C-alpha cells in the first residue's frame, strides 16, 4: 500500500523563496498534491478499506453516544477526588476512538480471512492512528491545564501520524521548501514548526517542574515566606530561560544569527518594557531585603490609602487584601519609590489608641483603673505590654482620656477591637454611675 510517492526530492530544487514566490508556483504545487491524493483515493483496491473506515467511524460515534452518559454516571458514583474524577471522564470521552478501533480490528480479521488478496494496509494504518490517539490522550492526563493538555496531545498525534504514514521526510522537505534566507541562515516553515513545538513542549515541562518545586518549597516550614517566594522566582526565571535556549537550539536556529536583532530588542526593552523590568527587579529587591513579606500588615499613605495584609508577592505586583475583601494589585516599583507603612516589619505588635471623655464629677484615678481593666479583659489585647490610660486634657465639658493597648494580629482588623473597648467602657461606667458628658449650653436671662 502506497500513501505517497517515494521519489527522492531534492530540497535544493524545491525551495519556494518567499520574496520570489509567485501564484503560479503555489498553484502548480497544490495541483500536484491534489492529483496525487485523487489517484490514491480512486484506486480500486481502496474502495473496500475506505468503506470499512467510514463504517468504523459511524460505529464509533454510535458507541460513544450509547456509553458516554452511562460511564459518566458510574464515575460520579465513585468516592474519588475531583482531579481523578476529571481524568476518568476525559478517558471516557475516548469511547469514540475505542469503538472505531474495535470495529476496524474485527473488520481486518474478517477481510484477511475471506479476501486474502485485498490490501489491508489502510486498515492497519487507521488502527495504528487510533491506538496512538488513545495512548497519547491517556498519557496527556498528567497535564492539569485543559488547553495545554489538548494542544500537546494534538501536536504529539500529528507527529505520530506522519511517522505511521511514512510521510515524515516528505513533510519536512515540503515545509523546508518554503522560506527565506538571511545570509547563511535560512528561515523556513520547518524551522518555525520545530521552534514552536520545542518551545511549547519545553515550557509545558518547565511549568510542571516549577509547580512541583513550588509545592515542595511551600511545605518547607524552616524557610521564611520571603525566601520561599524568592527561590520560586529564581527557579522560574532559570528554567524558562533554559527552555527558550534549548528550544532555539533544538529548532536548529543559529544563535549568532539572532545578533542582528539584539540592538532592536534592547531598544524595545529600554522603551517599551522598562516598567515591566523595573517591577521585576523591584520584586526581587523586596524579597532580598525582606521589607515586604507575605503576611505583613501594611498601609498605603494618602487619603485613599489601603490597609490590609500581603497575600502574594508576584513578579510584577504585590497583592494586598483589605478587611472588606478588596484585593489591591500594587506594582512592585511603588514599594521601592514610595513610602509605605509596614505595621509588622520588625514586630507584629501594634499600639492602638482609644479616646473617650467623662463628666467632671468623676474621679480620674478611678477612670484610669477601670479603663485598664476593660482593655485587659478584651481577648485580642496582649498582656505584655500592659494597657495604659492617661488623662489627656481638660475639655470644655469633659475630662478627656486616652487608652493605649497593644494587639499582634492587625490583619484581623482594628475597628472591631476598638468597638469591644468602647462597649466595655460603656458597661463599666454605667455600673459605677459614671456619666459620659454631652455638649450643653447655659442660657442666662437678664430680664
Contact (CB, 8 A) for 124 and 108: yes
Asked if the structure places residue 137 within a domain, the reply is yes
Q: Give how far the C-alpha of residue 17 lies from the chain's centroid of Cα atoms, to the nearest Å.
A: 40
Cα torsion angle, 181, 187, 189, 191, sign: positive
CA separation for the pair 377, 246 (Å, rounded): 64
Contact (CB, 8 A) for 370 and 429: yes
Among 213, 62, 83, which residue's Cα sits nearest to residue 143?
83
Q: Do 33 and 172 fall into the same domain?
A: yes
- Longest alpha-carbon distance in the chain: 135
Asked if the structure places residue 68 within a domain, the reply is yes
Q: Do 193 and 169 fall into the same domain?
A: no
CA separation for the pair 244, 195 (Å, rounded): 9
Contact (CB, 8 A) for 233 and 287: yes
Residue 231: CB atoms within 10 Å: 16
Asked if the structure places residue 99 within a domain, the reply is yes
Asked if the structure places residue 447 within a domain, the reply is no
Q: Do 403 and 427 fall into the same domain?
A: yes
pLDDT recorded at residue 363? 92
The last residue of one of the domains, among 152, 177, 202, is 177
Q: Do 259 and 378 fall into the same domain?
A: no
Helices 95-114 and 47-76: crossing angle, nearest 10°? 140
Q: Do 165 and 111 fall into the same domain?
A: yes
Task: Give the residue carrying C-alpha cell 481523578.
Answer: 84
Kindly give, in sequence order, each residue whose CB lies less than 8 Å from that of residue 359, ignoring residues fewer than 6 positions away. 398, 399, 434, 435, 436, 437
CA separation for the pair 61, 230 (Å, rounded): 51
3-state secondary structure of 143: coil
pLDDT recorded at residue 436? 86
∠ CA 285-290-291 to the nearest 5 degrees? Answer: 90
CA 435 to each of CA 6, 363, 395, 428, 438: distance values in angstroms, whole numbers, following the listed order:
105, 11, 15, 11, 9
Whether the bond into 385 is cis, omega within 30 of 0: yes
What's the CATH number where 402 sits? 3.30.70.100
The last residue of one of the domains, among 215, 238, 272, is 272
CA separation for the pair 273, 155 (Å, rounded): 32
Q: Do 102 and 193 fall into the same domain?
A: no
* Residue ranges, the chain, pLDDT below 50: 1-16, 18-19, 21
pLDDT recorded at residue 25? 58
Asked if the structure places residue 282 within a domain, the reply is no
Asked if the structure places residue 2 within a domain, the reply is no
Q: Do 323 and 364 fall into the same domain?
A: no
In DSSP terms, 186 is beta-bridged to 181
Q: Do 146 and 246 fall into the same domain?
A: no
Among 362, 372, 377, 374, which residue's Cα sits nearest to residue 426?
374
pLDDT recorded at residue 107? 82
The last residue of one of the domains, among 146, 177, 208, is 177
pLDDT recorded at residue 1? 41
Q: How many domains does the chain have?
A: 4
CA separation for the pair 372, 356 (Å, rounded): 13
Kindly give, in sequence order, each residue whose CB lies less than 8 Å from that of residue 90, ignoring residues fewer than 6 positions away. 137, 141
Cell triple for residue 68?
458516554
Domain region containing 308: 294-342
Asked if the structure places residue 255 within a domain, the reply is yes
Q: Do 264 and 306 fall into the same domain?
A: no
pLDDT recorded at residue 18? 47
Q: Do 126 and 153 fall into the same domain?
A: yes
Q: What 3 state SS string does 158-202 have?
A: HHHHHHHCCCHHHHHHHHHCEEEEECCEEEEHHHHHHHHHHHHHH
Pairing between β-strand 399-407 and β-strand 388-394 as defined by DSSP bridges:
antiparallel
Q: Do 170 and 38 fall into the same domain?
A: yes
pLDDT recorded at residue 357? 92
Cell triple for residue 65?
453516544
Whether the full predicted model's pTM is greater than 0.85, yes or no, is no
Q: Do 139 and 93 fall into the same domain?
A: yes
What's the CATH number where 334 sits? 2.30.30.60
Asked if the structure places residue 278 within a domain, the reply is no
pLDDT recorded at residue 3? 42
Contact (CB, 8 A) for 60 and 130: no
pLDDT recorded at residue 355? 92
Task: Give the residue carrying C-alpha cell 515591566.
Answer: 276
Amino acid at each position: 500500500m502506497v500513501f505517497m510517492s517515494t521519489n527522492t526530492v531534492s530540497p535544493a530544487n524545491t525551495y519556494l523563496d518567499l520574496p520570489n514566490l509567485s501564484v503560479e508556483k503555489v498553484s502548480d504545487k497544490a495541483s500536484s498534491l491534489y492529483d496525487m491524493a485523487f489517484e490514491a483515493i480512486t484506486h480500486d483496491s481502496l474502495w473496500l478499506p475506505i468503506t470499512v473506515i467510514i463504517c468504523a467511524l459511524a460505529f464509533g460515534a454510535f458507541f460513544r453516544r450509547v456509553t458516554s452518559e452511562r460511564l459518566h454516571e458510574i464515575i460520579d458514583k465513585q468516592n474519588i477526588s475531583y482531579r481523578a474524577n476529571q481524568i476518568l471522564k476525559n478517558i471516557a470521552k475516548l469511547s469514540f476512538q475505542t469503538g472505531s478501533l474495535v470495529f476496524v480490528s474485527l473488520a481486518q480479521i474478517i477481510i484477511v480471512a475471506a479476501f486474502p488478496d485485498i490490501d489491508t494496509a489502510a486498515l492497519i494504518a487507521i488502527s495504528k492512528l487510533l491506538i496512538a490517539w488513545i495512548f497519547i490522550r491517556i498519557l496527556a492526563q498528567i497535564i492539569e491545564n485543559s488547553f495545554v493538555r489538548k494542544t500537546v496531545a494534538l501536536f504529539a498525534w500529528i507527529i505520530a501520524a506522519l511517522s505511521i504514514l511514512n510521510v515524515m521526510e516528505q513533510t519536512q522537505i515540503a515545509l523546508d521548501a518554503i522560506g527565506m534566507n538571511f545570509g547563511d541562515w535560512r528561515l523556513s516553515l520547518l524551522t518555525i514548526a520545530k521552534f514552536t513545538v520545542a518551545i511549547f513542549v519545553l515550557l509545558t515541562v518547565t511549568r510542571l517542574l516549577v509547580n512541583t518545586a513550588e509545592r515542595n518549597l511551600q511545605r518547607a516550614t524552616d524557610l521564611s515566606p520571603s525566601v520561599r517566594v524568592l527561590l520560586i522566582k529564581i527557579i522560574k526565571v532559570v528554567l524558562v530561560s533554559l527552555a527558550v535556549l534549548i528550544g532555539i537550539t533544538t529548532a536548529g536556529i543559529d544563535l549568532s544569527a539572532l545578533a542582528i536583532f539584539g540592538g532592536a530588542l534592547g531598544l524595545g526593552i529600554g522603551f517599551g518594557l522598562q516598567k515591566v523590568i523595573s517591577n521585576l527587579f523591584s520584586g526581587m529587591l523586596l524579597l532580598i531585603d525582606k521589607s515586604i513579606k507575605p503576611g505583613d500588615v501594611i498601609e498605603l499613605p494618602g487619603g485613599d490609602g489601603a490597609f490590609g495584609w500581603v497575600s502574594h508577592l508576584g513578579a510584577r505586583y504585590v497583592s494586598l487584601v483589605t478587611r472588606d475583601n478588596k484585593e489591591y494589585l500594587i506594582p512592585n516599583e511603588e514599594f521601592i519609590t514610595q513610602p509605605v507603612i509596614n505595621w509588622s516589619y520588625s514586630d507584629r505588635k501594634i499600639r492602638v489608641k482609644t479616646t473617650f471623655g467623662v463628666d467632671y464629677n468623676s474621679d480620674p484615678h478611678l477612670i484610669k483603673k477601670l479603663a485598664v481593666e476593660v482593655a485587659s479583659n478584651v481577648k485580642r489585647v496582649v498582656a505584655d505590654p500592659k494597657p495604659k490610660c492617661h488623662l489627656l486634657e481638660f475639655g470644655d465639658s469633659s475630662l478627656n482620656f486616652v487608652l493605649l493597648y497593644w494587639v499582634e494580629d492587625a490583619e484581623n482588623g482594628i475597628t472591631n477591637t476598638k468597638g469591644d473597648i468602647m462597649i466595655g467602657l460603656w458597661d463599666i461606667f454605667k455600673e459605677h454611675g459614671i456619666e459620659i458628658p454631652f455638649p450643653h449650653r447655659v442660657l442666662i436671662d437678664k430680664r
